[in-house]
Amino acid sequence: MSHDSSNSPRSKRLQLISDYGCTRSSKCRKPCSRSAETVSTRREAEPVRADVKGTQHLSGPGRAGLTGGPAAGRAAARAGAMAKLLSCVLGPRLYKIYRERDSERAPSSVPGTPTSVTNPHSSSWDTYYQPRALEKHADSILALASVFWSISYYSSPFAFFYLYRKGYLSLSKVVPFSHYAGTLLLLLAGVACLRGIGRWTNPQYRQFITILEATHRNHSAENKRQLANYNFDFRSWPVDFHWEEPSSRKESRGGPSRRGVALLRPEPLHRGTADTFLNRVKKLPCQITSYLVAHTLGRRMLYPGSVYLLQKALMPVLLQGQARLVEECHGRRAKLLACDGNEIDTMFVDRRGTAEPQGQKLVICCEGNAGFYEVGCVSTPLEAGYSVLGWNHPGFAGSTGVPFPQNEANAMDVVVQFAIHRLGFQPEDIILYAWSIGGFTATWAAMSYPDISAVILDASFDDLVPLALKVMPDSWRGLVTRTVRQHLNLNNAEQLCRYQGPVLLIRRTRDEIITTTVPEDIMSNRGNDLLLKFLQHRYPRVMAEEGLRVVRQWLEASSQLEEASIYSRWEVEEDWCLSVLRSYQAEHGPEFPWSVGEDMSADGRRQLALFLAQKHLNNFEATHCTPLPAQNFQMPWHL
């Protein structure tokens, strides 16, 4: 007799357990929520199990493609995280996140950009970059190491001499020292990696590095707008303008080459001597000495702002000044690539959209030998309402290179090209404003771009040689003169005489820098010589013996009262002077030099000389480094 096991109570109970996950008996008729969930779950899972079973017969690439998706995604995520960590290790130092203006807030074009990062405007944490503790301490260690390296670099000649005298430069003692140096380098590399980890854990820095990488890949306007909200190490800033970018430069053969723009070359010290091979050999030791002096001590004395230690000390002030230009004046920073490969740091403030008419004019500012556009003379034309373009000398702050005359002229050339071809200003709407040593680049630009509207030189000089001889021993006179003429030839007066447009000179009456004796001796101010050479070139007949003598008397005046006394003593009639000059211009044209005054009496030449001197020079009762007030920033006189 057969027995059907499927109908037994035990079989039915097992069937209920397998179907519903419930251990109740078959007689139970109460609803069970657990049973319903189990059924639903099992029914939803059945197709998945079927799909998985269906893949069991697959082999090779087909099966790997179906079963390896999640693993490949995890591997890609790990690779992306490691790439981001490497970017944080090698990335630039981030100084500040600027407050973004309401009119410029827009959705981010960079994937994964949080709103709190792209629109920093509320809290101080969103406005000022806050490094984590690991990044902050690692940055301090690396900055200290950089300062020590700079000090050791400048003192290396003395250190080598001392070590040589003590006998420490032998092989037996150099090898252990190299081991110590290698260990120190490894430790510093480890500190840099720790700094990268600290940056990687900071969402602000991760977002910054994402925007920076996106801008390097795609130079779109939106990416550049987002990158402009950050202040970071300028070496990582993408290039905004190239010296060959204007089409006229590519087609012209007479433009600047990679060796640099054209400069006025000094005349030989000894005229008439034959330049034979023997004479060259005799001059070689002097030329080597001049080269070494110019590239070591001379350049740093002439441009102290290029010294790293000074820039390090001024860094907080520079960051604060740059924040003011960006946040309050709506300034736009840009990197320009000059023909010699130097990268020039610039800041442009556009006032063309304002109601002030002077905003249509662009003032290009040329700073002094320790001046930076962040805290320099750009404030004067800004307060006067002009559009302003400031730039830093090569080797200053974000600009690369060293500030020799050739590099200075190359930088000025790309700045003017940037103003014309990228910013959209015509040369007739550009004004050159220079303070102190910046007169060299301003006069070079005026000479090279004759359509420039005007030139304003504040506390500048005619030539560098008298000022260099002032601070060096008399026994070095020959070496100093040769070094300046061959390597540091700042011939401002010679370049200014090649310019045909309006010029205004501002003389500081208590200037302690460009005087060759003491600040109280106003006649030793080299601004006087700049004015006299300029007037003698343009009006040689007027500035003959009588005219030159009376202008010197006027320059000796130490107050406005004395100036007015001399001016009235010679009974200068301004209307008569203007009529004489306008008549000559109408008859002979505006090209200088003029022969006006050739058939004039001595009194007439004196009047005309005083009138021209008073129109081309303004006195400012201040020392060399006093900022020029906006009310003293006036356009030059012209007929």
Least confident of 108-112, 249-253, 266-270, 433-437: 108-112
CA distances from 192 to 141, 142, 145 (A): 9, 8, 12
Question: Which of 87, 436, 448, 453 is flagged as catalytic?
Answer: 436
Residue 51 exposed, middle or buried by CB count within 10 Å (0-12, 13-18, 19+) = exposed
Q: Which amino acid, 166?
A: K
The per-residue pLDDT for 130 is 87
Task: At 20, list the tokens.
Answer: 């519903």
What whole-number distance in Å separates Cα of residue 53 and Cα of residue 46?
Answer: 10
Task: Write out the CATH class of domain 234-247+279-501.
Answer: alpha beta
Is the per-residue pLDDT at 16 higher than 60?
no
Is the per-residue pLDDT at 32 higher than 80?
no
The per-residue pLDDT for 104 is 46
Read off the pLDDT of residues 44-95 as tens digits, 9 standing for 90 and up. Answer: 334 333 333 333 333 444 444 444 578 888 888 888 889 999 999 999 999 9
* Pairing between β-strand 454-458 and β-strand 430-435 as defined by DSSP bridges: parallel
Tell me the average pLDDT across 16-23.
44
The per-residue pLDDT for 100 is 58
* Catalytic-residue membership of 108: no
Least confident of 275-284, 317-326, 392-401: 275-284
* Catalytic-residue membership of 588: yes
Q: How confident is the model at residue 37 (pLDDT cuts 50, 70, 90)?
A: very low
What whole-number distance in Å separates Cα of residue 195 and Cα of residue 132?
Answer: 9
Share the mean pLDDT of the chain: 85
The per-residue pLDDT for 417 is 97
Q: Which amino acid, 82?
A: M
The per-residue pLDDT for 114 is 42
Angle at 131 between CA 127 and CA 77, to 5 degrees: 100
CA dihedral for 503, 506, 507, 511, sign (positive or negative): negative
Q: How confident is the model at residue 102 (pLDDT cuts 50, 70, 90)?
A: very low
Strand partners, 455: 432, 503
Read off the pLDDT of residues 403-416 as tens digits, 9 standing for 90 and up. Answer: 999 999 999 999 99
First to last CA, the chain: 136
Q: How confident is the model at residue 247 (pLDDT cuts 50, 70, 90)?
A: low
Report the percent of the chain where pLDDT is more than 90: 68
Read off the pLDDT of residues 503-529 as tens digits, 9 standing for 90 and up. Answer: 999 999 999 999 999 999 999 999 999
Read off the pLDDT of residues 540-563 as tens digits, 9 standing for 90 and up. Answer: 999 999 999 999 999 999 788 888
Q: How confident is the model at residue 351 (pLDDT cuts 50, 70, 90)?
A: very high
The per-residue pLDDT for 611 is 97
Is the per-residue pLDDT at 443 higher than 80?
yes
CB neighbourhood size of 417 (10 A): 24
For 3-57, give the DSSP string: --GGGSHHHHHHHHHHHH---S-TT--S--HHHHHHHHHHHHHHHHHHHHHHTTT
In 358-414 the beta strands, taken as DSSP E runs, fall at 362-366, 387-391
| Beta carbons of 440 and 492 less than 8 angstroms apart | yes
Question: Which of 257, 588, 595, 601 is flagged as catalytic?
Answer: 588
The per-residue pLDDT for 75 is 86
* Catalytic-residue membership of 583: no
For 422-488, give the DSSP string: TS---GGGEEEEEEGGGHHHHHHHHHH-TT--EEEEES--S-HHHHHHHHS-GGGHHHHHHHHHHH-
The residues spanned by each domain of the chain are 133-226, 234-247+279-501, 502-638
Read off the pLDDT of residues 151-196 as tens digits, 9 standing for 90 and up. Answer: 888 788 888 888 888 887 887 878 888 888 899 999 999 999 999 9
Least confident of 40-44, 264-268, 457-461, 624-628: 40-44
What whole-number distance in Å separates Cα of residue 471 and Cα of residue 487?
Answer: 18
Question: Which of 340, 345, 463, 511 is flagged as catalytic?
Answer: 511
Read off the pLDDT of residues 312-344 as tens digits, 9 standing for 90 and up. Answer: 999 999 999 999 999 999 999 999 999 999 999
Q: For the chain, what is the largest distance between any 2 Cα atoms, rounded to a whole number of angstroms? A: 156
Q: pTM here?
A: 0.83
Q: How many CA atoms within 13 Å lie on the side-chain side of 25?
A: 4
What is the CA 374 to chain-centroid distance, rounded? Answer: 9
Is the per-residue pLDDT at 590 higher than 50?
yes
3-class DSSP assignment, residue 141: helix
